[in-house]
Structure 1
Amino acid sequence: MTYRTVLVGTDGSASSFRAVTTAASLAAATRATLVLACAYLPMRESARAAAADRLGELAYKVNGSTPADDALRAAREHAVAAGASDVVLAAEQGEAVDVLITLAERHAADLLVVGNRGLNSLAGRLLGSVPSGVTHRAPCDVLIVHTTSGH
C-alpha cells in the first residue's frame, strides 16, 4: 500500500516532534502529502487576561491559535529536515482526538501518526489517551510511534 496523505499530530513537545520526523520520513519515501495537525483549546478570558498582563507586548502568544501555529511552524522544520516536501499545516480548535479524526477525514488521510505519550500512564489508562482514542475512531491506518520511555 502506498500512502498518499499522511497526517501527524503535534503539540509542540519534543516527543511529538519524534512522531513528526517519522511521519515525514514515511511521507518522503512514498511522495505523500504530509499534514501537520495541532489541536488547541480556547483560553478562558480570565486566564488569558492574567497571562497577557504578565507577558506585556508578547501577549499575542497566548491568544487564539497562536501557540498551535507556533508548534506547527516548529514541526514543519522537523518535517522538512526529515525529507517531507509537500507539507500542509492545520490548527483546529477542539480536543486532540476529535481534531485528529476530523482532519484525517477532511484530508482523506491514508495514515494517521501519533506518539505513544499517555498510552502507558495511569491517567491514560483511566481517562483515555490520544493514541488510544485515535486507534478506536480513525478512518484510516494508524501508526503509533514510540516517542517516550514509557516510565
Structure 2
Amino acid sequence: MTHYNTVLVGTDGSETSFRAVERAAELARDAQAALVITCAYFPAKPDPHDTDVLGDEAYQVVGSAPAEDSLRTARDRATKAGATNVQTQAVQGKPSPSLIKAAQDTGADLVVVGNVGLNTLTGRLIGSVPQDVIRHSPVDVLVVHTT
C-alpha cells in the first residue's frame, strides 16, 4: 500500500465539500501526512458603491475574503477530525485547474474530492470538478461520497 505524505483537498465552502475535507483530514491523520486545503475563487470587482454602503465590511466583496472564510471553517473541521499538520491556501482561478496545479505545487501525492456533480446530467454534458481532477491529476485521486 502506498504511504501518502501530503494530502490535498479542495473546498468551496459547501457542506459537501466540508465532508470531503473531514475525510481527507482522517486520512492525513492516519497516515501522519500533511493536509493542504485549497479554495479556488474569483475576486469580485471593486465597486466604489460597495465602500459607501458597506463601509469597513467592503473587504468581504473583493479579493479572497469569501475563500478565506471557507478555509477557516475547513481548517477547524480538519483539526476536529484529527489532522495536525494543516495548511490552507486560497488560489485565484477555476476549481479543477487550481486543484491540479496545487497538487503539483505542494508535492501532494493524494487529491481528495467529493462526488458532487459526477452523476448529474450537467456533469455528463459539460464536466464536473471531480471528473476533471480524475482525468488530469498527476497523482492518486480519492472520490469521497459526500452527497
Q: TM-score, normalised by structure 2?
A: 0.93
Identity among equivalent positions (%) equals 54
Residues 44 and 112 from structure 1, CA distance in 2 versus in 1: closer, same or farther, beyond 3 angstroms? same
Residues 107 and 51 from structure 1, CA distance in 2 versus in 1: closer, same or farther, beyond 3 angstroms? same
Deviation string 1:8-45 (CA, Å, 9 cap, x unpaired) is 00011111000000000000000000000000012234
Q: Corresponding residue for 1:124?
A: 123
Q: Corresponding residue for 1:27?
A: 28
Q: Corresponding residue for 2:72?
A: 73
* 2:43 alignment partner, SS class: coil
- Could you list the runs of 4 or more consecutive aligned residues of structure 1 that deviate by over 6 angstroms after TM superposition? none
2:14 pairs with 1:13: yes
Q: Corresponding residue for 1:37?
A: 38
Give the unaligned 5+ runs of structure 1. none
| Equivalences for residues 98-113 of structure 1 within 5 A | 98-113=97-112
Counterpart of 1:43 in structure 2: which amino acid?
A: A
* 1:8 alignment partner, SS class: strand
| Equivalences for residues 43-62 of structure 1 within 5 A | 43-45=44-46, 48=47, 55-62=54-61
| Equivalences for residues 75-94 of structure 1 within 5 A | 75-94=74-93
Displacement after TM superposition at 1:57 (Å): 3.1
Question: 1:17–1:78: 8 Å Cα contact kept in structure 2?
Answer: yes
Residues 122 and 83 from structure 1, CA distance in 2 versus in 1: closer, same or farther, beyond 3 angstroms? same
* 2:104 alignment partner, SS class: helix
C-alpha separation in 1, matches of 2:25 and 2:122: 29
Q: TM-score, normalised by structure 1?
A: 0.91
Residues 51 and 134 from structure 1, CA distance in 2 versus in 1: closer, same or farther, beyond 3 angstroms? farther
Give the unaligned 5+ runs of structure 2. none
Displacement after TM superposition at 1:145 (Å): 0.7
Counterpart of 2:76 in structure 1: which amino acid?
A: E
Q: How many aligned residue pairs are there?
A: 146
C-alpha separation in 2, matches of 1:52 and 1:67: 17
